[in-house]
Structure 1
Amino acid sequence: MTAALSRADLAARIAALTPGQRARLRDRVRRQVRHVQSQLTSGQLRLWQTQQRLPGRAVDVVCQAVHLTGGPADLDLLAGRVRGFADRHEALRTTFEVHGSGIRPVVHEHLPPRLARTRVTGADEAHRLALELAAEPFDLTAGPLLRVTLAEGPTPDESWLLVVVHNLVFDAWSFELLLDELARPENTAPAAAPAFSGFAREQGEWLEGPAGRKAAAYWAGEVADAPPPLPTDRPRPAQGTGRRGGRVEFAVSRAVTEAIAAAAQREAATAYTGWLAVAWAALAEFGGRQDVLLGTFTAGRDRPGTSETVGYLLNVLPVRLREAGDGSHRARTRAARTATRAALKHAAHPGELIAADAERPRVPGTHPLLDAVFVFDNLGEGGREIQGARADTRDLDKGTTRFDLTLAVYPGPDGTRGWLEYDEELYDAATARRLTERFTALAETSAGAPDGDGSQE
């Protein structure tokens, strides 16, 4: 019989473990000592309510097509990595059940993802398969909520990874963690897998503490006397729309992209702030008032350990843009910088808990406060490699929209591309095109003005 280890012996053995062995040990302990998430986070609750109001619609669904080229990808290896990733991360083993008068998450010991293998003739067929995966309704009570299809291409050096996941358990950051796992070199240990329930518990504790109360007071002031929503071509239904969406894509040159970034840098601001200033100018003109309440995304991963957490941590916060000064791009950039810096101090507060008037939502439907949202993602230089193959990811248009208007901007080394997503029940395609054209025109004007002083009035 083996004698029980003393605390000193146990500590010595743990200290002797390699970093990879310690990571695996932490993972096993987390799996055995289960955190109980008694209720949904406010972000998850909004997603659940949207799903119940729009059953069968792919509104809050991640749909990504990863094109692998330049080398034969080992699809068997990738399938195993996907299974292991889902098994390690609590969120991907979670389903949701109605319990009494509320909803609660249920964490399963094992809940394998839905994996499929196929062959495609090219990008069009691969994208069609991904959209079919996204359009298939999710059973939130039975799961699984992760679907992956691995598709061989027309040549050995070309394949696709099609990923569809419900946002209740996954966000854009989680997708990057999945790609990190697929790209992990052999003979290295997987990254740590903190439990989403730990984040949910800590968020609840933070909200009840002094920092949470201070943030709630700040946001109440930001949305007080909020401006009316932007005008629409047709009236908003009292209960919200069916969120059928269209997209208008656009592209801006490399020279304009670099000029906006440089102008922002001169004001000690980021490229995000410079593009936000352009969006403000376009929406102020569109709405006929300078006071604009615009949603923006934050990763929600400022707390220790959250950078490796899979789940829905994404936060959608309002940015109140009011004082445009002389109307120049420089003045707007400065004002946007001030507004975003102040908001970042309180960015941990869930956006769903911020409301201009709890009894009378500003916007009916999927979000009570926000009708327009600005998305920014700097694509950076180069591409990712997965097992020796170049990986290029495309976010596919599912034909749905989460908000009345969503303006997405993706600066890259060759210029900026993006799209305006609009609710087809509220806006005509011609209106969306005019707004997109005005946005790109203002971007070019801002870039061409001396020192960013060009008027946008």
Structure 2
Amino acid sequence: MSTELAARLAAMTPRQRAELRDRLASASPRQDSLTPGQRRLWRTHHEHAGTPVDVVCQVVELRGTVDTGALVDRVRAFAQAHEALRTTFTPVGDDDARPVVHDTLPPRVDRTPCADSATAHALAARLAAEPFDLAEGPLLRVTVAEGPDRGWLLVVAHNLVFDAWSFELLLDALDGGAGAGAPARPFSRFAAEQRRWLAGPDAAAAARYWTAEVADAPQAPPTDRPRGTDTPRAGARVDFEVGRATADGIAAGAKKAAATPYAGWLAVLWAALAEHGGHEDVLLGTFTAGRDRPGDDRVVGYLLNVLPVRLRDPGGGSHGARTRAAKAATTAGLRHAGYPGELVGGPPPAAVFVFDDLAGPERTVAGVPATTLDVDKGVARYDLTVAVYPGADGATGWLEYDTARYDRDTVVRLAGRFTAIADAAAAEGGDA
């Protein structure tokens, strides 16, 4: 290698080096096997055939008139550009599969008239309930529901090829905004790099860390009926909301603790579950984007990772002390966030925390203001999932529960205690 070339390579940013690797590869590395995350999804799909357990389902309200034809064209171009959305899965044996990437695999795209938001949500739920044929595809369905003065974009995809980050990449592409024109990075490249990483010393260190975290795990939160199998069943949700004073108070308390609002709300959930279960040692699942390597932010596919977070010592019991402890636990775990949660020993998490701050600038799609809304699909992936969405006017959220394990009255009481603890924490102001 010449001195000049070596100097030019050394001057590149990590993103530029990742893009160069992509350009130098004349073809994507073949993905002969599923990633650990995909293997879990594949098995769950077949254990619960015909139910939308691992299906992304979102409604995007478009508050204005859009060029529907152009929107449909952009959806199709996005699917063609991203390898994962041209992938199907051929069964191998009884519980595994091989990904098959097609040169073309158009998504299912439909247009339909729509009267209102409730009708759009009902249509999205029906789209999610339609079984996916993983061997034939396509695994992306998009419907543009058109009203007189606004529209709704209904996005339904199987998790095997799509996650929450992928959904945001789709919306960016549909709006033509920043990053929309960046070259797509193939999922097979992520899979190959993950496979190499898992064979190295950093993965071995991560495995030791997570083994220690789940060792002597505490009892899961109590349920109304005994746990049997840990696979998902029918689910329902209890919604909640808190005012702006409470949401602002949680954020302010987190700032005093040199933490993020995520840690502040995680501390609230910790206190609620400790009260519910009668012990302070709580083991939760939490989501990470799984995009830690340069270039992974441009990958469409299932990179999402579900990792444990162990909350043990609340200090003096104040909200500020809990927030600092939650920050310490999550910060330590983030150093090993590349390790697939499926490879961590022990039972899958019974309770999971979801957090998404919606207080940022308003999104536009196809040039008009847009609001994204999650759809209740009537299933529960875990025993209990608690989602919190801070916004400009406060915070909303829901508790999704497995109806085979919880009575609704129990979850309603838990939601009430969660919001009451949040109110008290905000009033405390994160006082150390």
SS of residue in 2 equivalent to 1:247? strand
- 1:443 aligns with 422
RMSD (CA atoms): 2.0
Runs of 5+ consecutive residues of structure 2 not aligned to the other structure: 6-15
Which residue identity is paired with 1:99?
Answer: V
Aligned residue in 1 for 2:205? 214
Alignment partner of 1:72: what SS?
coil
Q: Secondary structure at the match of 1:161?
A: strand
Structure 2 residue 384 is matched with structure 1 residue 393: no
- Which amino acid counterpart does residue 287 of structure 1 have in structure 2? G
Distance 1:217 1:449 in 2: 37
Q: Does 1:372 align with 2:351?
A: yes
Correspondence for 1:293: 283
Any unmatched runs of 5+ in structure 1? Answer: 1-10, 12-21, 357-367
Per-residue deviation, 1:185: 5.9
Equivalent in 215, 225, 239 of residue 249 of structure 1: 239
Separation of aligned partners in 2, 1:437 and 1:159: 35
Instruction: Tell me the secondary structure at the aligned position of residue 285 of structure 2.
Output: strand
Residue pair 1:185, 1:387 contacting (<8 A) in 2 also: no
2:87 corresponds to 1:94: yes
CA distance change for structure 1 residues 279 and 334 in 2, over 3 Å: closer, same or farther? same
How much identity, in percent, do the aligned residues show?
A: 58
Counterparts of 1:55-66 in structure 2, within 5 Å, are: 55-66=49-60
Distance 1:146 1:95 in 2: 11
Which of 65, 68, 71 lines up with 2:62 in the alignment?
Answer: 68
Q: Do residues 52 (structure 1) and 46 (structure 2) align?
A: yes
With over 3 angstroms needed to count, the CA separation of the structure-2 counterparts of 1:164 and 1:258, relative to structure 1, is same
Task: Quote the Cα distance in structure 2 between the aligned partners of 1:324 and 1:189.
Answer: 44
1:417-448 superposed Cα distances (whole Å, 9 cap, x missing partner): 00000000000000000000000000001111
Match for residue 340 of structure 1?
A: 330
Amino acid paired to 1:113? P
- State the TM-score, normalized to the length of structure 2: 0.92
Q: How does 1:39-438 map to 2 (within 5 A)?
A: 39-69=33-63, 71-100=64-93, 102-153=96-147, 156-184=148-176, 190-237=181-228, 239-240=229-230, 242-356=232-346, 368-438=347-417
Q: What amino acid is the match of 1:381? A: G
Preserved contact between residue 61 and residue 371 of structure 2 (Cα < 8 Å): yes
Report the alpha carbon displacement of residue 99 of structure 1 after superposing the two structures with TM.
Answer: 2.5
SS of the residue 1:103 aligns to: strand
Q: CA deviation at 1:157?
A: 3.0
Contact residue 267 and residue 322 of structure 2 kept, 8 A: yes
- In structure 1, give the amino acid aligned to 2:236: G
Report the counterpart of residue 6 of structure 1 in structure 2. none
Cα 1:327/1:120, change in 2 over 3 Å:
same
Q: Measure, in 2, the Cα distance between the counterparts of 1:312 and 1:289.
A: 35
Determine which structure has more spread, i.e. the larger CA radius of gyration: 1
CA spacing shift, 1:26–1:121, aligned 2, 3 Å: farther
TM-score (structure 1 length as normaliser)? 0.87
The residue identity in structure 2 corresponding to 1:66 is V
- Find runs of 4+ consecutive structure 1 residues off by over 4 angstroms: 25-32
Farther off after superposition, 158-167 or 385-394: 385-394
- Tell me the matched-pair count: 415
Q: Is the 8 A contact 2:309 2:329 kept in 1?
A: yes
